[in-house]
Amino acid sequence: MATLSQTKTFLNYINGHWQVGSSNETLASINPANREVVGYVQSSTREDLNEAVLAANQAQKAWKKLSGIERGNLLYKAADILEKNLDEVAETMTKEMGKTLPEAKGETARGVAILRFYAGEGARKMGDIIPASDSEALQFSKRVPLGVVGAITPWNFPVAIPIWKAAPALIYGNTVVLKPATEAAVTAAKMIECFEQAGFPKGVINLITGKGSVVGQGLAEHPDVAAVTFTGSNSVGKQIGQTASARGAKYQLEMGGKNPIIIANDADLDQAVAAVLSGGLKSTGQKCTCSSRVIIQSGVYNQFKDKLVAEVKRIKVGNGLDPETWMGPCASEEQYKTVRYYIQKGIEEGAQLLIGGEAPEFPELEQGFYVNPTVFENVTSSMTIAKEEIFGPVLALMKVETIEEAIEVANDTEFGLSASIFTKDIGKILTFIDDIEAGLVRVNYETAGVELQAPFGGMKASSSHSREQGEAAKEFFTTTKTVFIKG
Ligand code: NAP
Ligand code: MG
């Protein structure tokens, strides 16, 4: 039985109250499996945003005075409440953005685990004792909060990403204004209800929904927002970074990927195929860490290709709520059109389509934004499908002779988020670890997925070079005071 209260029209959560936006307009969030409306969210204005920032700013003074342990206790409570409502939140996620129910449940459970990790951070050290030149003095560093943090998040991980930004921001004494992606704002509202039920003081965490160009851009511009943490596309991220830096605010951008997976001649091919399927096609290829370029040494090329295509053929595409479904629809019509555009581009530029490229033929799926899993071969680095992030279930196979060539091809991209190699050769593994340009380096493991306790972020155009998650989050969400006390 549902214990969360909101059902169809979702409000902003500002200063401890659920309230309508001042425009009196809403935006519909659509189920990509059948085009039904999942819910309506507020199309907020700059005035609504100002109210949320003001509330967060006022609340921060008392929030930062609490001990880390007191703040942690509230995060533990939010974790328990989210866990209790896991099924409802996960089902909403599947309906709203299409990932399968087991994936949505896994992500919500991850949100619970992240909350508990950062709740524990409240009891850990926040500085160091540093020797002073004067023997009668005490010198130490102390991590302190920044103030109001604006979090702007994408639709592909509607629970995990808002939580991996909000939880560290909160535990270190900041207050938060969250602007979730419109495509996933209903799920975000349900998640925020868990924070409300946990009893956070009013204004400490606020939710404001609406257009990115209005409230997202507004957060980046707002003089009282001390820091902006963003996950999303490169074009939007760049703009947010420029806006925030122009007014001297701290910012953090996690953006796209074009993640390579290298299959060496000595790879365990069954393991490698499983990793390409899971890391490339789960969540309909809509993870920033998804494998999209599969770089295969010529000695195993044909064998690997045949095994992969045989497995892709078996994938069942359908509504994520159906337990038989392996892969759901694209998250939105826009995403569906983008994926179809790239498939067409691949064909036009001379890549060979091995399988997929079409919408599934089942009549009951006609209303949804479905694309069959798609594999191209004879892809070269200069082709658009090897260069640009597709964010869909499309794999590009590329044949190489040597591992050195494989690494060169892997690095031939503006992105640098995640990369993997399948080999048993320790020499090749060490070369790969040294030479690959990626923030996440995987060996005999898929490119997708992150460990909540480890630093996460990309190199090159994939990020603004700071790291999220684990203890690394402390770097972004705090600043340091160096204290010198003369005895
Ligand atoms: P997006 O279009 O960049 O949107 C991300 C967020 O920014 C949304 O909340 C969006 O609001 C908002 N936004 C849009 N225009 C804005 C503007 N002018 N100013 C401020 N905010 C604005 O990205 P998406 O399509 O949701 O997500 C897919 C992208 O996210 C992919 O490129 C993927 O690689 C990336 N991603 C990266 C990571 C990572 O950690 N590196 C993780 C997941 C996803 P609206 O929804 O209202 O437009
Ligand atoms: Mg939707």
- Residue 364 has what pLDDT? 67
Q: Count CB neighbours of 472 within 10 A.
A: 16
Give catalytic status of residue 288 as yes or no: yes
For the chain, domains (ranges, CATH) are: 3-255+463-486 (3.40.605.10), 259-451 (3.40.309.10)
Question: Quick one: which H or E segment has residue 304?
Answer: helix 301-313
Considering 107, 196, 288, 446, which one is annotated as catalytic?
A: 288
Per residue in 156-200, pLDDT (tens digit) is: 999 999 999 999 999 999 999 999 999 999 999 999 999 999 999
CA 214 to chain centre: 21
pLDDT in the model for residue 1 = 41
Asked whether 41 lines ligand 1 (CB < 6 A), one says: no
The answer to whether residue 451 is catalytic is: no
Nearest CA to ligand 1 atom 16: 212
Residues 61, 172: Cα–Cα separation, whole Å:
13
Question: Angle 215-257-394 (CA atoms, 0-180°, nearest 5)?
Answer: 110
Q: At what angle do helices 301-313 and 269-281 cross, to 10 degrees?
A: 50
Give the type of residue at 448: A
Residue the block writes with tokens 């609490």: 66
Atom of ligand 1 nearest to the CA of 184: 46
Residues 338 and 351: their CA atoms lie apart, in Å, by 18
Q: What is the pLDDT of residues 413-462, one digit of tens each?
A: 999 999 999 999 999 999 999 999 999 999 999 999 999 999 999 999 99
Residue 265, phi then psi, degrees to nearest 5? -60, -30
The mean pLDDT values, 10 residues at a time, for the chain of 487 residues are: 77 98 97 96 98 99 98 98 98 98 98 98 98 98 98 98 99 98 98 98 98 98 98 98 98 98 98 98 98 98 98 97 97 96 97 93 80 98 98 98 98 98 98 98 97 98 97 98 96
CA–CA separation, 121 vs 248, rounded Å?
Answer: 28
Q: Which atom of ligand 1 is nearest to the CA of 462?
A: 41
Residue among 3, 8, 1 nearest 31 (CA): 8
Percent share of the chain, pLDDT over 70: 99
Residue pair 430/409 in contact (Cβ under 8 Å)? The answer is: no
Nearest residue by C-alpha to atom 26 in ligand 1: 154
Q: Write down how long the chain is.
A: 487
- Nearest CA to 116 among 82, 158, 156, 66? 82
The residue among 93, 451, 420 whose CA lies nearest residue 279 is 420
The tokens describing 476, both together, are: 């972004």
Say how far apart CA 33 and CA 132 lie, in whole Å.
63
Q: Which ligand is nearest to the CA of 32?
A: 2
Q: How far is the CA of 102 from the centre of ligand 2 (A)?
A: 18
What is the reported pTM?
Answer: 0.97
CB half-sphere exposure, 171, CA atoms < 13 A: 31
Cα 226 from Cα 64, distance rounded (Å): 14
